[in-house]
Structure 1
């Protein structure tokens, strides 16, 4: 499989996808016809226009999967797929409803490049359980695409030592997840991404990632770190720590 999993599509001080544009254009086939999946936001046309405006100057043709009568057929007619960010529950529900959950998984496992950001990156994991989003709709299942066998937490935020907020930090929430599930979680900070090519996986982008596992304290993974071993993960869900 060929995956480029971005933590975020918008970065402070940059235009849409601008912070990762070099990686995106290097990842996509030359003059690619890109199927864009806009279902994480409510306004599909405006969202697709935003992606088109960012990528078409680079010679990439963008086609929203909602712009034809059959989203699965739109996907099949393109060279690569981009699943955009927004609300992960709304996105996964739409993937089930349109048949794209199975169609995208089949296409990507057959070699179609998969580009994603935020909620779309959540879809690459086995399950929705490590999203930051509110469940504004109820999908048929939390089972996502499972393109990688471990969990990802896009937009990972470090605890603010000066904050007076007493709610759970992101680290505390992921620790709670690991108390009930035995599967690594890769926290991708803003400006970082995961690149997967076949059996090779690497952290890249502007900032290090943070890896959470049940048996070890969280670890910092600098840009360029090889995390290919995570592709051999055997995830175990609903397995409380003893």
Structure 2
């Protein structure tokens, strides 16, 4: 399998600028891209402003950014892309637009068969998985399905938070919500990426990067924690 993925939990870390906390990982990841990266800004309503943010950032890294929303033929843009970037925003809005523009199958083909690099952050990470069932976002729009691009055979919960023992909030924790998800049959494992963590996937190898730990939720078993640098290649089963 040719896939190369950089799946980031969050676009901005506390007191940092946009993608500043993963600048080095981005440079290492996209180094084979000749010059241009295709940006997918469907996560936000204001696509022009979001594109400018991404364009300005990647220019400092030596890349030009083309936005899929600025082209008359999104499918053709994906077919010609050297690399793909999908950032954070609303996951439901993103997935609906990907299906509407017929990009789900095309992105999957370019990444899994052609081997172009795919970077996702937050919502962009959510849609790289089996489904968006474990997103934290509100369903502001109706998606035709929860099935996502399927670049990896598990789900991810970006912005994963640990329970705060000092909090008086009585609502459900992220862990409780994921356990409820796993009460349904045939649900995949869920990798909880804390703020500042990211997963690098190269072929069938997967490594946890960043400055914070991740948690793996599996149906019927105890949650397991992993340190940055951990080999998570046991999650590598070929995407279905």
Matches within 5 A, 1:116-127: 116-127=120-131
Specify the alignment match of 2:198 in structure 1. 193
Instruction: Identify the match of residue 50 of structure 1 among 49, 53, 61.
Output: 53
Sort the Cα spacing of 1:234 and 1:124 in 2 relative to 1 into closer, same or farther, 3 A. Answer: closer
Secondary structure of the 1:180 match is coil
Match of 2:98 in 1: 95
Q: 1:166 aligns with which of 154, 170, 188?
A: 170
Moved over 3 A (4+): none
Q: Distance in 2 between matches of 1:133 and 1:168?
A: 15
Gaps in structure 2 of 5+ consecutive residues? none
Change (3 A) 1:52 1:234: closer
List runs of 5+ in structure 1 lacking aligned partners.
236-242
- Number of aligned residue pairs: give it: 235
RMSD: 1.3
- Work out the CA distance in 2 between the residues paired with 1:126 and 1:93: 15
Residue in 2 that maps onto 1:139:
143
* 1:20 and 2:22 correspond: yes
Check 1:173–1:50 CA distance in 2 against 1; reply closer, same or farther (3 A cut): same
- Distance in 2 separating the partners of 1:66 and 1:196: 27
- The equivalent of 1:207 in structure 2 is 212
SS of 2:65's equivalent? strand
Greater mean deviation of Cα atoms: 214-223 or 1-10: 214-223
- Structure 1-normalised TM-score? 0.94
Please say if residues 6 and 117 of structure 1, whose CA atoms lie closer than 8 Å, have aligned partners that are also in contact: yes
Give, in whole Å, the separation in 2 of the partners of 1:151 and 1:233.
14
What does 1:173-184 correspond to in 2, within 5 Å? 173-181=177-185, 182-184=187-189
